[in-house]
Structure 1
Amino acid sequence: MSLTNSLMLVLLLGTTVSLAGALGTMLMFVAVVGIYALGMSPLRSRLTDGSALLAGVLLAATLASCADLLAQRWFLAWHQSFGLYGGLIALQCVVLERNGFFRQPLAQRFKLCALFGGLMLVLAALRELIGQGSLGRGLSAHGSGLVLFGEGLHLATLVPGAFIVLGLLLAARQGWTRPNSISKETHRP
């Protein structure tokens, strides 16, 4: 499962520069993965392992390409936010298929996708707020969004800044879930 997580990490870090990019990527991810699951479900039992992989690659690439074209046509501002990362959704579908994600119960799949989407939106909001000083700049028609302070820390809009913010989020989660994990030491002379 580490390969799956690393591919999702690319989407997570690459598309969360702004809230608009994260929202567009999340919507595209849910649509492509959902339609892929519906399309592959009747084929799984009828195909061998090798032909199922080929059919999965073909279906995922087709769906991701169609979603990318639709995003270019009707949601150009969002498409410019996530750009080339849309193609990785097809690869993610194939990796999820090979790791048995689509054989899990629907509730568990929904929970994992909701956690991924929530993390993506929180990371995007933090990166946009810290990096640009505003929130929702690409979501509004005039492009200003909610300006909270003049200038931000530009490092947060870059990929190394995404790693730093994600690390801080993971540290905060660990501190929140383990409140008294520090063992009490006794000092003996």
Structure 2
Amino acid sequence: MNKSWLAALSLAPLLGATQTLLQASVMAGLTLSAVLAHLACMTPLRRWLDEAASEVSSILLAATLVTCQTLALHAWGLEARNALGIYPELIALQCLLFEQSLGKTEQWRRACALLGGFCGLYLLLGTTRELLASGTLHLTSISGPDITGLRLASLAPGALLLLGVLLALIKRACPKQATPDREGNS
């Protein structure tokens, strides 16, 4: 599968399951544990499997890990499971994305930095959305915020707009020159 499709599909949990800081922290924890477990299990398997078998085993392992997480949420965190909807299952796509970004070179530092940034983005987006929608952080209830402020912030399209604004602010605060191939020049 194309890396850009996986990256686009991994935005769904980021935008849909970050209405509150608590939802964002649960999703960040689930993502962190699933991706690290997936990478730790796939690293020794890659030596013994050819490319096609490695891809199939990666997909099966990601689905297995995410299913186990979902069953654990059903057993011990039903309120969180109901509030998050279908988004925990989409973490399997993020496992595949990190597997492809790591590649054959096993660049653990780059993968961990990317994963840390992704989890930080979860928390930043969840905090900002909850503050804009309700004005305060409610750390006791995982369900959606009581909307007293900006209603758009609690909806997924508002999350996409807010993500664009946050990424623009981050880029503005940390300016780095793009390489010519990233600027669109041929």
Fold similarity call, TM over 0.5: yes
Asked if 2 retains the 8 angstrom alpha-carbon contact of 1:20 and 1:81, the reply is no
Unaligned runs of 5+ in 1: 179-189
Gaps of 5+ in 2: 176-186
CA distance in 1, matches of 2:135, 2:91: 29
- Check 1:84–1:102 CA distance in 2 against 1; reply closer, same or farther (3 A cut): farther
Q: 1:122 to 1:176 in 2, by over 3 A?
A: same
Q: Distance in 2 between matches of 1:28 and 1:103?
A: 25
1:72 pairs, out of 48, 67, 74, with 74
- Could you tell me the TM-score, scaled by structure 2's length? 0.82
Q: Are residues 1:152 and 2:136 paired?
A: no
2: CA distance between counterparts of 1:61 and 1:15? 19
Q: Could you tell me whether the CA contact under 8 Å between 1:22 and 1:82 is conserved in 2? A: no
- Identical columns (%): 35
Residue type matched to 1:154 in 2? R
Describe the SS at the equivalent of 1:165.
Answer: helix
Q: How many residues align?
A: 171
Q: Which residue of 1 aligns with 2:124?
A: 122
Partner in structure 2 of residue 111 of structure 1 = 113
- Supply the AA of the counterpart residue of 2:4: S
Which residue pairs with 2:173 in the alignment? Answer: 176
The C-alpha deviation readout for 1:45-79, integer Å capped at 9, x for no partner, is 11111111111111111110000110121122222
Matched, 1:50 2:52: yes
- Write the distance in 1 (CA, Å) between the matches of 2:121 and 2:84: 16
TM-score (norm 1): 0.80
> Which one is further off, 168-177 or 94-103?
94-103
SS at match of 1:134: coil
